[in-house]
Structures are given as C-alpha cells and as structure tokens.
Structure 1
Amino acid sequence: MRTNANGRVLHDPRGGSFRFDAGAVCLDFAYTGGEGRYAVFETLHEPDDLGGWLAQPPLGAVMTVPVTADDLVTAKALRQAIWEAARARAAGRPLPSEAVAAVNRAAAEPPLAPELDPTGTATRWAAPVRTTQVLSTLAREMIELLSGPLAGRFRECASETCPLVFVDSSRPGARRWCAMERCGNRHKLRALRARRTTDT
C-alpha cells in the first residue's frame, strides 16, 4: 500500500485545504479526526463515513459487509493508537504501551486478501470485505513502518505550530514540511520578510 500512497486532502475548520501525503495509508487514516483538541477535525461521524474513506484509493476497500457503529468505535481506537505511536516515534520517545497493544490487537485479525480479477490483469480485494480486515491491513502496515527500514524516518513538520507527522520515504531523507504549499511556503514568506527587514 505504501508505494501507492499519495495522501489526502485535509480541511482546516477555519478555512482552507491542502494535500498532505503522510507517506503511508495508515498514517493518512490517522488524520481523519482525533480526540481532545483535534476533535474539530473529525470526519468519521457515522459508519458510512468510515466506509466511504476506506473505499477511496489507494486502499479501495469497498465493504461487502456494512460498517457498524461498533466498527466505527474500533476504527477510531486504532486511529488514535497510530497517531500516538507515530508522534512518539517522530519525537524519539518510547511507544505508548496502550498504542502498541491497540495496533497489535487490530493486526491479529485476518487482513484483506488480494485476488486477480477475471481478466487476470488487475487486482481487487477478495470478498467478503469486512471492516476488521481493513483495520488489520492498516495496523500491519503501521507495524511494518515502525519495525522496518523506514522506522527512523518518522518526522514531525518543521513548523513550530504544525503537529502533522509523516514518514519520509524520499531517497535523501530531507523532507521537512507537511506540505510545501502550506508550512513550507509560510516558512519561505517569513524568511523573505525577515531578510527584507534586515536589509532596510
């Protein structure tokens, strides 16, 4: 999944939107909402919201078994665990034990199974497609990130006011910003203004 991850459009409740590529689908999932002060960013209000998000590319998991209210609760718990683990890894802190347990719990369920379509030229997810399978697939991707070659590439956006975390899979490993169109450009504008002030 990670090689096909191209991010999602995030919307600011105060206005504006931008494309943020977290570097992995499981991390994109972490930004569908949150708890506490991040609750204003919530996008998964109903089970159908979750089903709609999971059906979008690159995951493309169209549910053949309807998403339930319990599934939504489970999904939000996994989302929070992914968020907490990603932030801890980016900050160089030990992973919270509760987050590790939640990720492992989700990963223990059977994952999605790929299959060839009748033409033999494309793949799809084998039916039945259940929410628990999709969550297991996301949890397993997170486990791979945390324990694999990109484990040291978790980064928090370099902006002091941006909490977004991503996995830097670029060859040089020099990515600093959540998105150049957002925090990167803001930094450039601030630096330009500072130089102009110094020059005058």
Structure 2
Amino acid sequence: MTDERAPGLILHPPGGGTAFHFDPGALCLELLTTGAPAPYTRYETLHRPADLAGWLPQSRLGLPYEAVRISDEQLAGIRTLRDALWRLAATRAGGGAPGLLDSGRSAGAGGTADDYAVLNRAAALPPLAPQIAPDGTPAPPLPGDGAQLASTVARDAIALFTGPYAERVRECGAHNCHLLFVDTSRPGRRRWCSMERCGNRHKVRALRARREQAE
C-alpha cells in the first residue's frame, strides 16, 4: 500500500506552469491525479485506454506502457472506481466518518455506500499477478487487463482505508489545491502536496507579508 521510497509522480498543471514532484503516498491516490468527479471533471485525462496505459510507468507500479490490456469498457470502470475513491478519500481528508452507511446516504463531504460497493466489486476480481526475478528482486507482473489493474488499485485503497494510515489522508493545505495524499512522514505533520509547489508558495507569501508589516 504505502511506500515512502516510491519516487511519486511528476505532475504538469493544466494550462501550463512548472511541473512539480508529487508523492501521494499510495497507489490508489496516484490514480486520483488523472481526474475527478464533478465539479472537477475539466481535469479529466483518461479519455482513451492509451491514456491510462501512459499512466502505468509513472505510477508506483512502474509497468511498461504495454503491460496491461485495457478495453474501453474497462477504462470506464476504472474511471468510475477513481471517482468513488476520490469521494471517499476527500471525506477522510475532511474528517468524515468512514463507518457503515445507509445505502445511498452521503458521508460527510462526499462518498456513499454506493462508492464503497464500487470499491468492493473491483477488489473482488483477481489483481495483477506479482512476479519475482531470479535475483530475488520484484519483477513486473504478468501481462494483465484493465479489470486486474482496477482490482490492484481497489485492494490498495482498502488497505489504506482500513490500515494504520487511515486517519492520515489529507488534502493539500493550499486554498486553491485539492490534491489528496496520505501523510507517511514520521511526525505526521505534512501540509502540502509538494514543497516544490504549494509549500514554497506559502513561504513566499508569508515572507512578503512579514516584509509588508515591517515597512
């Protein structure tokens, strides 16, 4: 599930801007960088199976572009899973209760029993099969399909939401940034999606405010 050694993603802000490094701390949260449900549908990047295949080598999976066969139907299923995960993770980040919900009832800021059902259905299918190389190191999984990829992501999400970091799902502290991450740092005080981006911007604004007060 979580892996502090993972390099994270290089994100390119919509409409241009400087690329920045973002490590959300879990595979399932990496998928959330590909788009989101309303009102953020304008950030959708998964328009074709090839778009999802292009995400594979950037993710924690580190798989080659051609490692997973993805049909149009499976792509739609992964987008549905991603949107459910986004609502559930956003609820966690906002302090919403993750307990059992009445069917269809909203949980805090978002996430319903239906979203949990989407997650469980995906996880019930076989995941990508792990492999080991002759030297004892991890090897790329056997070629799989989009349903197996969805199961792998869903199982990672369940491990996150039911594990020791369940209460550390956070939203970036910047007022105009909605990236979600799990804080795997030892002190548990991470505030920003990335110090390269929102963290540095906060420092610059704070420094400017102190200078203005001193004048």
User: What TM-score, normalized by structure 2, do the two folds share?
Assistant: 0.85
Q: Distance in 2 between matches of 1:190 and 1:55?
A: 35
Higher helix share: 1
Assess, with a 3 A threshold, how the Cα gap between structure 1 residues 60 and 189 changes in structure 2: closer, same or farther: closer
Of 89-98 and 106-115, more deviation after overlay is shown by 89-98
1:1-200 equivalent positions in 2, closer than 5 A: 1-3=1-3, 4-16=5-17, 17-62=19-64, 66-95=69-98, 96=111, 97-117=113-133, 119-200=134-215
Aligned-pair CA distance for 1:128:
4.3
Aligned-pair CA distance for 1:51:
1.9
SS at match of 1:40: helix
Assess, with a 3 A threshold, how the Cα gap between structure 1 residues 187 and 84 changes in structure 2: closer, same or farther: same
Aligned-pair CA distance for 1:30:
1.0
Q: Distance in 2 between matches of 1:64 and 1:7?
A: 20
Assess, with a 3 A threshold, how the Cα gap between structure 1 residues 87 and 74 changes in structure 2: closer, same or farther: same
Judge conservation of contact 2:53–2:68 (CA < 8 Å) in 1: no
Cα deviations by residue, 1:172-200 (Å, 9 ceiling, x for unpaired): 00101111111111111111111111101
Q: Distance in 1 between matches of 2:68 and 2:25?
A: 28
Aligned pair count reads: 199
SS at match of 1:52: helix
Partner AA of 2:14 in structure 1: P
Assess, with a 3 A threshold, how the Cα gap between structure 1 residues 191 and 77 changes in structure 2: closer, same or farther: same
Q: What are structure 1's unaligned runs of at least 5 residues? A: none
Q: What are structure 2's unaligned runs of at least 5 residues? A: 99-110
Aligned-pair CA distance for 1:26:
0.9
SS at match of 2:128: coil
**What do you get for the CA RMSD once the two structures are aligned?**
1.8
Judge conservation of contact 1:5–1:25 (CA < 8 Å) in 2: no
Question: How many percent identity over aligned positions?
Answer: 48
Assess, with a 3 A threshold, how the Cα gap between structure 1 residues 198 and 99 changes in structure 2: closer, same or farther: same
